[in-house]
């Protein structure tokens, strides 16, 4: 179920993103540090796998219903902002609003890490690359807003 939610989020994001890469996105001015398009798919695949693993691991640490609800809630909230960013940035072709959404995504990933750390520090640590990638995406998003 956890893995299915994560990859459903990825599918939603891909559906909003892929059609707009060769058209709208290619026409944007991007910063020199913009990675090649092919890198995003493999990176997100690894991130969805690790976030699913971390959530599964943390849920296994407690049988307390309130704790499990908190864990599930932070996981779903960050997935929501994850999908929403692709919809806003690529689907609606709105980098400015995308910047707001990616900031919410970063905050929700940090919140998830903090909640996970209360139960399993290793699971929380596996999410640090996710937080770093979203921080990089935020910088990239900001650069695109400023350049366009």
Residue 56 maps to which CATH number? 1.20.1260.100
Determine the Cα–Cα distance for residues 62 and 71; give it in Å rounded to an integer: 10
Q: Is the residue at 112 inside a domain?
A: yes
Greatest Cα pair distance, the chain, in angstroms, is 51
- pLDDT for the residue numbered 101: 98
> Per residue of the chain (148 residues), what is the pLDDT tens digit?
999 999 999 999 999 999 999 999 999 999 999 999 999 999 999 999 999 999 999 999 999 999 999 999 999 999 999 999 999 999 999 999 999 999 999 999 999 999 999 999 999 999 999 999 999 999 999 999 999 9
Residue 88 resides in a domain: yes
Rounded Cα gap, residues 107 and 101, in angstroms = 10
- Residue 137 has a pLDDT of 98
Residue 30 burial (CB count, 10 A): 14
Residue 10, in any domain of the structure? yes
Alpha helix positions (H), 2-127:
2-17, 40-59, 65-86, 95-119, 121-125
Q: How many structural domains is the chain composed of?
A: 1
Q: Which domain holds residue 74?
A: 2-29+40-147
Domain assignment present for residue 34? The answer is no
Q: What is the pLDDT of residue 111?
A: 98
Is residue 35 situated within a structural domain?
A: no
**What's the predicted TM-score (pTM) here?**
0.95
């Amino acid at each position: 179920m956890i893995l299915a939610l994560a990859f459903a989020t990825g599918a939603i994001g891909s559906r909003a993103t892929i059609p707009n890469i060769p058209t709208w996105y290619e026409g944007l001015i991007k910063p020199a540090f913009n990675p090649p398009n092919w890198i995003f798919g493999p990176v997100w695949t690894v991130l969805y796998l690790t976030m699913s693993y971390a959530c599964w691991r943390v849920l296994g640490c407690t049988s307390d219903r309130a704790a499990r609800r908190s864990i599930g809630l932070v996981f779903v909230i960050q997935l929501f902002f994850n999908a929403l960013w692709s919809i806003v940035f690529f689907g609606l072709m709105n980098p400015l609003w995308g910047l707001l959404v990616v900031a919410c995504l970063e905050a929700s990933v940090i919140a998830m890490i903090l909640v996970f750390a209360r139960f399993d520090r290793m699971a929380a640590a596996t999410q640090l690359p996710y937080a770093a990638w979203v921080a990089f995406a935020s910088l990239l998003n900001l650069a695109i807003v400023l350049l366009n």
